[in-house]
Copies of this chain bind each other. A is one copy, B any other.
Amino acid sequence: MIEDTIVTENVKSRLAGVLLPPGIGPFGGITAPVSDPAARTRRNGRKLCGDLDEAIRRSGLKNGMTVSFHHAFREGDKTINTVMERLAVLGFRDLTLAASSLLSCNAPLIEHIRSGVIRKIYTSGMRGKLAEAISHGLMAEPIHIHSHGGRVHLMDCGELAVDVAFLGVSTADEFGNANGVSGRSHCGSLGYAMVDAARAAQVVLITEEIVAFPNAPASIRQDQVDLVVAIGEIGDPSKIAVGAARMTSNPRELLIARLAADVIEHSGWFEDGFSLQTGSGASATATTRFLETRMVRKGIKAGFALGGITGGIVELHQKGLIGKIFDTQSFDAVAAESLRTVATHYEISTNSYANPSSKGAYCDRVDLVILSALEIDLDFNVNVITGSDGVMRGASGGHSDVAAGANLPIVVAPLIRSRIPTVVRRVTTVVTPGDTIGVLVTDHGIAVNPNRPEIAARLKAAGLPVTTIEDLYQRAIALTGEPEPIAFQDRIVGLIRYRDGSVIDVVRQVKA
């Protein structure tokens, strides 16, 4: 908005002979009033870029810098691939990619890693061909797998300094006010993006729709945004519920979900005003459904629900069984619509949600959480990242965050998946340390961490099928046999960062 500078001599002369304090200068004049409509349009539209190339150029991005993205569109995301493709075409190299997570849809990144555009990756997880390729040694540097809260911690402690955040938003105005609840392709909560908007040196909004100023509510605010550019498509919201966030009709998953609801009911934490996070796994989502009858029967209501929000949680909220929703990621269209329209459904950043070094995270205040597992071992350590073949195919997510914070973290998992045991002697990869897990619920019974004897006593008193994790393990291998050890090479392809930034495990390259 620099127009001609006018120096008002009459004003400046007032300071003649005045000795100002060190570091404080005299008034030097103002910029001219913008009475010319053309100048006004220029001023107001200064952040708006004609195309993505212009936005990239104006962001000041250079080789070796760090670019960031959010994954609220999950398998429907189009922003990451589109931007990385342009960065490749423009010849950028040695970039660090800091995505809040990566999914199967991000397979095109393989090419950009091969060609040297991407040198290093921070992400909560990976799936599909990209994960397969990285597990097989695609990258020279190991990938960093962090939790949602741990990502913010890595930013705040300086390790992960984002130079340019490219944030997909369904609508933005030309001044940078944006949300994920209006426009054509809404993802709902921008909980991940809010973190980057508050921390990146340059913030570029990638939007499908430029709306009239002032866009409100502003999940991302004009005072955080440098540049705004419209592209054809930022994401397909119909694919958000694909993958992790699905409903189930599988009888075994329903059995586990019912048992998990029983555990909650008798845990000692199921009192009026309790709080919960049920997440996005199939059994976890189903648990929400079974809670309803138990809450009605006992005449209690939940104070709040936290985290990734599904239609099931929204339904309980609509029925008055949950007081408030704190939504860091909307797992389906129902959740996104509720966030848009319901006053007591609040959008929160992943800093507020789970950053262990923030001044206060919701995950430290939640009572009951349902978590999933690819593997869980005799120490209750949980693996949510590597499959039984040693290939990465999951995400750390908020798993270790809420496990550390919640009053009772409950893992739900079938004892056996496709003839492969879930309960193992020693998990392939530790993402969440066992000491933070309270209960394991399987279709063959319930195991309680020995460090929570009061919980075991309550569940036994309620007549629930409580056994030991050793017993579940023996049952599993009796059915499947002890699995063959996975053949790994020595080379490390992934570092599993605990939420405090430490390395809790490494992932080694699988043998081809």
Chain A residues with CB under 8 Å of chain B are 1, 6, 8, 10-11, 14-15, 18, 20-21, 23-35, 40, 43-44, 47, 159, 175-176, 203, 212-214, 216-218, 221-226, 273, 303-304, 324, 326, 343-344, 346, 349, 351-352, 355, 358-362, 364-365, 379, 381, 404, 407-408, 426, 430, 433-436, 438, 449, 451-452, 454-455, 492, 495, 497-498, 501-506
CB within 8 Å for A226 and B359 given contacts A35-B454, A364-B1, A506-B15: yes
Whether A505 pairs with B14 at a CB distance below 8 angstroms is yes
Contacts of A214 in B (CB 8 A): 303-304, 324, 326, 362, 365
Whether A436 pairs with B30 at a CB distance below 8 angstroms is yes
Whether A222 pairs with B352 at a CB distance below 8 angstroms is yes
CB within 8 Å for A25 and B503 given contacts A175-B365, A364-B1: yes
- CB of A20 to closest CB in B, whole Å: 6
- CB of A238 to closest CB in B, whole Å: 27
Contacts of A355 in B (CB 8 A): 223
Q: Which 5 A-B pairs have the closest CB atoms?
A: A222-B360, A27-B504, A223-B358, A27-B502, A223-B352
Candidates B27, B303, B324, B438; contact of A433 at CB < 8 Å = B27
Candidates B25, B324, B452, B502; contact of A33 at CB < 8 Å = B452
Whether A503 pairs with B27 at a CB distance below 8 angstroms is yes
Whether B222 pairs with A359 at a CB distance below 8 angstroms is yes
Contacts of A430 in B (CB 8 A): 11, 14
Whether B26 pairs with A303 at a CB distance below 8 angstroms is no
- CB of A10 to closest CB in B, whole Å: 5
- CB of A50 to closest CB in B, whole Å: 19
Whether A435 pairs with B359 at a CB distance below 8 angstroms is no
Between A and B, 14 residue pairs with Cβ closer than 8 Å are: A6-B435, A10-B379, A11-B433, A14-B504, A15-B505, A24-B502, A26-B503, A35-B408, A40-B407, A214-B365, A216-B326, A218-B346, A222-B360, A223-B361
Whether A407 pairs with B34 at a CB distance below 8 angstroms is yes
Alpha-carbon gap, A212 to B6, bound state (A) = 54
The quantity of this chain's copies bound in the complex is: 2
- CB of A243 to closest CB in B, whole Å: 28
Whether A33 pairs with B175 at a CB distance below 8 angstroms is no
Contacts of A224 in B (CB 8 A): 359
Alpha-carbon gap, A343 to B182, bound state (A) = 15
Contacts of A43 in B (CB 8 A): 364
Contacts of A498 in B (CB 8 A): 27
Candidates B24, B438, B455; contact of A503 at CB < 8 Å = B24
Whether B273 pairs with A31 at a CB distance below 8 angstroms is no
Contacts of A303 in B (CB 8 A): 212-214
Whether B359 pairs with A176 at a CB distance below 8 angstroms is yes
Contacts of A14 in B (CB 8 A): 430, 504-506
Whether A502 pairs with B28 at a CB distance below 8 angstroms is yes
CB within 8 Å for A451 and B33 given contacts A8-B433, A223-B360, A435-B8: yes
Q: Which single residue of chain B is at the shortest CB-CB distance from A40? A: B407
Whether B344 pairs with A451 at a CB distance below 8 angstroms is no
CB within 8 Å for A216 and B433 given contacts A25-B502, A27-B503, A365-B175: no
Alpha-carbon gap, A502 to B502, bound state (A) = 46
CB within 8 Å for A24 and B223 given contacts A213-B365, A360-B175: no
Whether B451 pairs with A8 at a CB distance below 8 angstroms is no
Whether A20 pairs with B213 at a CB distance below 8 angstroms is no
Candidates B10, B24, B47; contact of A360 at CB < 8 Å = B47
Candidates B21, B35, B362; contact of A452 at CB < 8 Å = B35
- CB of A452 to closest CB in B, whole Å: 6
Whether A505 pairs with B360 at a CB distance below 8 angstroms is no
- CB of A119 to closest CB in B, whole Å: 13
Alpha-carbon gap, A24 to B500, bound state (A) = 10
- CB of A399 to closest CB in B, whole Å: 13
Q: Which single residue of chain B is at the shortest CB-CB distance from A499? A: B30
Contacts of A31 in B (CB 8 A): 404
Give the most central of A351, A364, A501: most B CB within 10 Å. A364
Contacts of A1 in B (CB 8 A): 364
Whether B30 pairs with A404 at a CB distance below 8 angstroms is yes
Whether B451 pairs with A32 at a CB distance below 8 angstroms is yes
- CB of A22 to closest CB in B, whole Å: 11
CB within 8 Å for A359 and B225 given contacts A20-B503, A379-B8: yes
Give the most central of A1, A40, A433, A495: most B CB within 10 Å. A433
Contacts of A225 in B (CB 8 A): 359-360
Give the most central of A159, A216, A449, A451: most B CB within 10 Å. A216
Contacts of A226 in B (CB 8 A): 359
